[in-house]
Amino acid sequence: MQGFPDNRAVSALFRVFGGAGSRQLGEASRRAEAGALHRAEWLFFSTAVPLMILVAVGEGLVKGLGPIWGGLLTLPAAFVAWTIFPFVVGGATAVWQWRRWLIVLTVWAVWRRNAGGIIGAFAWGWLGVFAVNLIAMLMLAWRATMLWKGKAGIAWRMVIAIVLHGLALVIGLRFGWGWALLTGASLSSLWCWGVLSPTSQWFGPMRRRLDDDRVLITIDDGPDPRDTPAMLDLLDERGLKAIFFVIGEKVRAYPELAREIIKRGHELGNHTLTHPQATFWCASPWRTRREISGCNQAIEEITGVKPKWFRAPVGHRNFFTHPITAGLGLEIMAWTRRGYDAVSTDTPKILQQLLEGNQPGDIFLIHEGTPIALDVLKGVLDGIKAQGWDKEPAKF
C-alpha cells in the first residue's frame, strides 16, 4: 500500500490517482474546509459532469421534439440543468456532492449503456470513471484498515489471512487444485512484495523522506564498542545529529554507549531486540511484539528515553508490524539512500550509491559494526558538506 498524498481532492479517484496536485492561491484559508483544491480534479469534473448533463438532456429533447427543435434547445436547457443539478442533488460538503453526482450519473449510464452511438460512448465512458473511482475507494478503505493499531489491527489482519486462504481453497474445490495453486502463488507474491520491499506501504505507512530541504543520517545495528564512540566524534565535529537504530541486546551489553548517544544530542530508534534479519519478515504477531517491545524496554530502562522510531531488520517488516508499532507509539522509518555497506566493503561504490543524485529530504542508511563503518560515515559527511546540507541538523 502506497501512501496517498494529501492532495486536497474530494473524489477517491483523484485522492489515489491524482498525484500531489499543485498548490493554489487561497489554499491556506480553504484547506480546513476540505474544499476541492486539486486543480486536475477541478478541470476534469468541471468538464466531464456538464458534458454528461448536456448529452443526457440533448438525447431527451431530440427524442421528444425532433432533431431540429431538440438540437436548438439542447444548450439552453442543459445550462438550466447545470444550474439546478447541484441544488437537486445536494450534499453538505464537496465530498458528498461528488458522491451523489457520481451515483446519479452512474444510474443514467447504466440505463443508457446500450443506446449505441455517442450516447452509448458517453455512458460507457462514465461507467469507466465509476469503475476507477470504485477501485480508488477500495484502496482508500484498505489503507484505512491498515492504520488500525494494537489488538484490533492484529485481529483484522488475521481475518484477512484466513479469508484469503479460504478463497484459494474454494477456488480449488470449484475449479481444480491447479487454479488454487495459481491463486495462492499470486497472493503470496503480492504479500512477499508488501513485506520484503523496504519502501512498500501496502501494509501500513512509514516515513520515507523528510518534509524539508535537509537530509538525515540514520545508523543501524549499534551500539558498537569500536564504531559508536568514533562516529559520535565525527558527528560532533560536523555539528550534525543522527538517529541510531539500536538492537536491544546490544543496548543491554553496552549501556554507557546508549546513554552517550543520548547525551550527545542524538536519538535512539528501535531496531528490534535480537535483530532476526532472516526471519522477522515472517514472524508471528506474538514474536513481533516481543522483539519490538523488548527493544523499547531495553532502551527505556538504560536511558530513560522512549523511542519514537522503528526500523525492521533489513527493512523487512512483516504483516503484523504496523499495528504493533502503532500500538507502542512508534512510527516506522525507511530510507531513500542505501549503499549496502553491511554486505559490501567496496567503500567508493557504497559512497557513490549513497551520494549520487541526492535530493532534499533524503534519509541515509548506514551501519556500524562493519570494517568500513567509519570510512562510510566520513564519506557521507564530506558529501553532504560539499552539497551544502550540513548547515543545521535535520528535524525528526
Q: Would you please indicate which residues are annotated as catalytic (active-site) residues?
A: 220, 367
Specify burial of residue 224 (Cβ count, 10 A radius: 0-12, 13-18, 19+): buried
Cell triple for 76: 439552453
H-helix or E-strand spanning residue 303: helix 285-303
**385 closest CA partner among 178, 231, 247, 215:** 215
How many residues in the chain?
A: 396
DSSP calls for 190-226: HHHHHHHSTT--TTS--B-S-SSS--EEEEEEE--TT
Of 11, 86, 66, 365, residue with least CA distance to 199? 365
CB 273 within 8 A of CB 249: yes
DSSP E strand stretches across 153-201: none
Interhelix angle 347-355/373-386, rounded to 10 degrees, is: 40
C-alpha cell at 331: 512510527
Contacts of 133 (CB under 8 A, 6+ apart): 11, 12, 13, 102
Distance CA(226)–CA(373), nearest Å, equals 10
Query: Could you tell me if 31 and 8 are in contact, meaning their C-beta atoms sit under 8 angstroms apart?
Result: yes
If DSSP codes are grouped into helix, strand and coil, which group holds residue 20?
A: coil
Q: Which three cell numbers stand for residue 215?
A: 537530509
β-partners of residue 80 are none
User: Residue 243 is inside which H or E element, if any?
Assistant: strand 242-246
Question: What is the phi/psi pair of residue 338, to 5°?
Answer: -140, 135
Torsion, Cα 188 189 194 196, to 10 degrees, reads: 100
The number of angstroms, rounded, from the C-alpha of 241 to the middle of its chain's C-alpha atoms is 26
